[in-house]
Amino acid sequence: MRRSLKDAKILVTGGSSGIGRALCLKLVERGAHVLATARREDRLEALRQECQNGPGTLHVLAGDLSQSSHRLAISKWIGEHWQSLDILINNAGAGAIGRFDQADEQRLRQVMEVNFFAPAELTRECLSWLRAARGSGRKPAILNIGSVLAHRAVPLKTEYCAAKFAMRGWSESLRVELATESIDVLMLSPSTTKSEFFDSLVQSPEGIKSPSVGSMTSEQVADAAISVLVRSKRERILSWGGRLLVWAGRFFPNVTDRLLRRFAIPKAQR
């Protein structure tokens, strides 16, 4: 059965830019009621104004998702305003680039915190609200925005790949646990996307570039996320390039390692 987004109550993390922002706009266009969260309050406020004419509604709540106090504040907001939640979209995330041996523990912890612990703990916090939505005739869903790098890791992004692999493993396990409760756990894995992602890197050396051949736009990824939600697709990997990398890594791991060593690490970093 196709999931209707009209009048659905949806929480979107990372709504201040890129994929999350595009998703909020498209969901409101479809008549959904969206709570957008991120740290930059001015960005969220601008988004709220952009959505003022509906047909859906957009609410905003600024804060740092890696803080349990903000996750609790989100849950409290839902309790006060909605009393249930149809869809949780764990989209907020941040990357880091550079050799593992040249970084420190803090970078690893920061990347794991925002890409893995925060969405996992936010989900725990929201589960009672998702359960409360079941009586409305809608099937609740959790949509995790992963990455192609949750399926095949690449060099110079060790922390990010580890965090996205963790998210994928956690999603797979949670999907089975929540199936008996009729709550979907879905995952969309984008490949390189035009957004502010590479301008907001965690503790990465200056001047390091990540190849962004054949990037998708945030709007295209948001459309794919909506399609995953509407069709309850358990996992989708985006772009032909992304799928090729995953396929090559699975069937020809040694060749893929060699190609990555040659083409994904600049000479100065080898």
Ligand X SMILES: NC(=O)c1ccc[n+]([C@@H]2O[C@H](COP(=O)([O-])OP(=O)(O)OC[C@H]3O[C@@H](n4cnc5c(N)ncnc54)[C@H](OP(=O)(O)O)[C@@H]3O)[C@@H](O)[C@H]2O)c1
Tell me which residues in 112-151 interact with ligand X (CB under 6 A): 114, 145, 147
What end-to-end distance do the CA atoms of the chain give, in Å?
50
| 3 state DSSP class of 55 | coil
Q: With binding defined as CB under 6 A, does residue 17 bind ligand X?
A: yes
Q: With binding defined as CB under 6 A, does residue 239 bind ligand X?
A: no
Query: Please, what is the minimum distance in Å from the beta carbon of residue 230 to ligand X?
Result: 19
Q: Do 237 and 148 contact (CB within 8 A), yes or no?
A: yes
| 3 state DSSP class of 268 | helix
Query: 4 or 110: whose CB is closer to ligand X?
Result: 110
**Among 197, 204, 226, 229, contact with ligand X (rule: CB under 6 A):** 197
Would you state the structure tokens that stand for residue 154, as one six-digit string? Answer: 């690449």
Query: Please, what is the minimum distance in Å from the beta carbon of residue 105 to ligand X?
Result: 18
CA distance 120 to 129: 15
Query: By rule CB under 6 A, what count of residues binds ligand X?
Result: 29
Q: With binding defined as CB under 6 A, does residue 20 bind ligand X?
A: yes
**Among 84, 123, 193, 239, contact with ligand X (rule: CB under 6 A):** 193
CA distance 231 to 229: 6
Q: With binding defined as CB under 6 A, does residue 186 bind ligand X?
A: no
| 3 state DSSP class of 245 | helix
Tell which residue, 215, 217, 236, 184, has the closest CA to residue 23: 217
**Among 27, 94, 133, 183, contact with ligand X (rule: CB under 6 A):** 94
Residue 55 preceded by cis peptide, ω within 30: yes
Query: 39 or 138: whose CB is closer to ligand X?
Result: 39
Q: Give me the residues that bind ligand X (CB under 6 A), please.
A: 14-20, 38-40, 43, 64-66, 91-94, 114, 145, 147, 190, 192-193, 195-197, 200, 218
